[in-house]
Structure 1
Amino acid sequence: MTATDPALTALAQGWCALSLLHGRIEAHIERALQTRHDLSVREYSLLDVLSRQHDGEGGHLQMKQVADAVVLSQSATTRLVTRLEDRGLLARYLCRTDRRGIYTDVTETGLKLLEEARPTNDSALREALDTAAGNPELEPLVRVVESLRVPVPAQA
């Protein structure tokens, strides 16, 4: 294949469209969350992921798992956890069975803020998708996103 190969060109165009859709959605949600709740998209995502932990087997996430879930490096995730802990939205504690393990839970204040921010996140997502659907280049991707149904694991 060469640099002018039509398959590579199509692949690159598809990637650019997907990147554009993601960027527009994230920017729209970011503005809404910052304006109404003083939260970034990353902060909201972290609170959301940690709020889904449970006391059952494998219910508490290690920092690497949290980092993977919010698509950040471990060091960036640790800094984000520290910022939210400083705001009283998260609390860290030692694992009961392995004193080397440190877990993070959402505080009552964090859960309340997440509950207040969830409708903002959801409506901003819907608005961003509706706007993107008006762009012929992005409309097929919007349809794919809307068709995805990711199963939510049952909590113990």
Structure 2
Amino acid sequence: MTATDPALTALSQGWCALSLLHSRIDTHIEKALQSGHDLSVREYSLLDVLSRQHNGPGGHLRMQQVADAVVLSQSATTRLVSRLENRGLLTRYLCDTDRRGIYTDVTEAGQALLAEARPTNDAALREALDEAAKNSELAPLVKAVEELRLPAPTE
């Protein structure tokens, strides 16, 4: 395969379009969450992931699982958790069965902020997708996102 190979060129163009769509969505949601709730997209994502934990087997996530879910390194996730903990939105505690494990829960204040921010996030996502759908290069990707139905996590 050479640099001018049509398959490689198409692949590269597809990746560029996907990257552009992600960037537009992320930027639009970031602005909406920052202005309306003083939250970044990453902070919202972290609160959202942690709010879905439950009591029972496999119900609480370890820091590496949280990092994987919000697509950050473990150290960046730990710093993000610390910032939200300092704001009173999260608490950390030791795992009952493994003292090396640390769990993180969303506080009542964090749950309230998340509930307040969720409609903003959802509306900003819808707006960003609708705007991107007007672009002929991005429209197929928007359609794919809208049709994507992922299975529920099983961890």
TM-score range, shorter chain: over 0.9
1:97 is matched with 97
Letter in 2 for 1:100: R
One-letter code of the match for 1:149? R
In 2: Cα distance, 1:29 partner to 1:98 partner: 37
Residue 153 of structure 1 deviates from its aligned partner by 5.1
- Tell me the C-alpha RMSD between the 2 structures: 0.9
Number of residue-to-residue matches in the alignment: 154
In structure 2, the residue corresponding to 1:48 is in which secondary structure? helix
Partner of 1:46: 46
Q: Which residue of 2 aligns with 1:137?
A: 137
Identical residues among aligned pairs (%): 81
- Partner of 1:32: helix, strand, or coil? helix
Q: Deviations over 1:19-65 (max 9, x none)?
A: 00000000000000000000000000000000000111111000000
Unaligned runs of 5+ in 1: none
> Which ranges of structure 2 fall in alignment gaps of 5 or more residues?
none
CA spacing shift, 1:153–1:72, aligned 2, 3 Å = closer
Map of 1:147 onto structure 2 = 147
Equivalent-residue separation in structure 2 for 1:87 and 1:150 (angstroms): 32
CA distance in 2, matches of 1:89, 1:151: 28
Query: Structure 1 residue runs of 4+, over 4 Å off?
Result: none
Distance in 1 separating the partners of 2:64 and 2:100 = 14
**Correspondence list, 1:4-23, <5 A:** 4-23=4-23
Q: Find the aligned partners of 2:24 and 2:7 in 1 and give their Cα distance.
A: 26
1:82 aligns with 2:82: yes
The separation in 2 between residues aligned to 1:95 and 1:17, in whole angstroms, is 43
Q: Residue in 1 aligned with 2:33?
A: 33
What is the aligned partner in structure 1 of residue 120 from structure 2?
A: 120
Cα deviation, residue 149, structure 1: 1.3
Deviates more, 1:92-101 or 1:72-81: 92-101
TM-score computed with the length of structure 1 as normaliser: 0.97
